[in-house]
């Protein structure tokens, strides 16, 4: 953890210059939030090419919403699949929703079980409805609940909470410096 904002800014700049996919993705997200979709697309594409699962997920959102690109369901699903394969829980959940919309409930349930195993609350909620309808067995639902709780418990730590509070301010100041 950097001791000063200047030290943090320098570390961020070094990571960006070294083609660190997380740093590049975060720059893309800063652009996205400023509605600078062209630069967001460039940064996110670069981070995705470097293997960042979250960048793949955010590209799926750009194509799904038509932000800075033409709306394209095939590209949206492509990037969701890439992110899901890389372990992104929300991408896996969204694939389940896509399968549900296309009346492929068995496939949707499989995606939601995987997302639940990764700790995503929304996946448990989706499974709960299909458990009530008999599409998910009692054993499947119980196993998903246990795996979900284990995943949630595994992500809790004081260090993680401190980093999550620090990161947004740190990236904002780095982006501000780079653009001026």
Where residue 24 falls among pLDDT bands split at 50, 70, 90?
very high
CA-angle at 22, arms to 19 and 28, nearest 5°: 90
Q: Give the CATH number, domain containing residue 81.
A: 1.25.40.10
**Domain total in the chain:** 1
List pLDDT tens digits, range 39-84: 999 999 999 999 999 999 999 999 999 998 999 999 999 999 999 9
pLDDT at 166 over 90: no
Q: Domain of 61?
A: 5-178
List all residues 6 or more positions away from 131 whose beta carbon is below 8 Å from its beta carbon: 137, 138, 140, 141
pLDDT at 37 over 50: yes
Q: What is the pLDDT of residue 176?
A: 45
pLDDT (mean) for 133-155: 91
Q: What is the pLDDT of residue 169?
A: 58
List all residues 6 or more positions away from 21 whose beta carbon is below 8 Å from its beta carbon: 46, 47, 48, 50, 51, 52, 55
pLDDT (mean) for 96-102: 96
pLDDT at 117 over 80: yes
pLDDT (mean) for 13-34: 89
Q: What is the pLDDT of residue 174?
A: 46
Give the DSSP letter string of 112-152: HHHHHHTT-HHHHHHHHHHHHTTSS-HHHHHHHHHHHHHHH
Residue 7: its H or E element? helix 5-17
């Amino acid at each position: 953890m950097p001791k000063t904002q200047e030290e943090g800014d320098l570390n961020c700049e070094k990571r960006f210059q070294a083609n660190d996919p997380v740093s590049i993705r975060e720059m893309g997200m800063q652009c996205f939030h400023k509605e600078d979709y062209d630069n967001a697309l460039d940064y996110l594409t670069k981070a995705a090419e470097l293997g960042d699962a979250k960048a793949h997920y955010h590209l799926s959102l750009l194509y799904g919403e038509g932000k800075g690109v033409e709306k394209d369901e095939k590209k949206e699903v492509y990037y969701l699949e890439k992110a899901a394969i890389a372990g992104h829980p929300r991408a896996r959940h969204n694939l389940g929703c896509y399968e549900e919309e296309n009346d492929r409930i068995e496939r949707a349930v499989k995606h939601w079980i995987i997302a639940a195993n990764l700790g995503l609350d929304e996946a448990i909620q989706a499974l709960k409805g299909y458990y009530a309808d008999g599409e998910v067995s009692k054993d499947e639902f119980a196993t998903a609940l246990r795996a979900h709780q284990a995943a949630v418990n595994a992500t809790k730590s004081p260090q993680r909470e401190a980093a999550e509070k620090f990161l947004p301010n740190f990236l904002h100041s780095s982006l501000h410096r780079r653009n001026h």
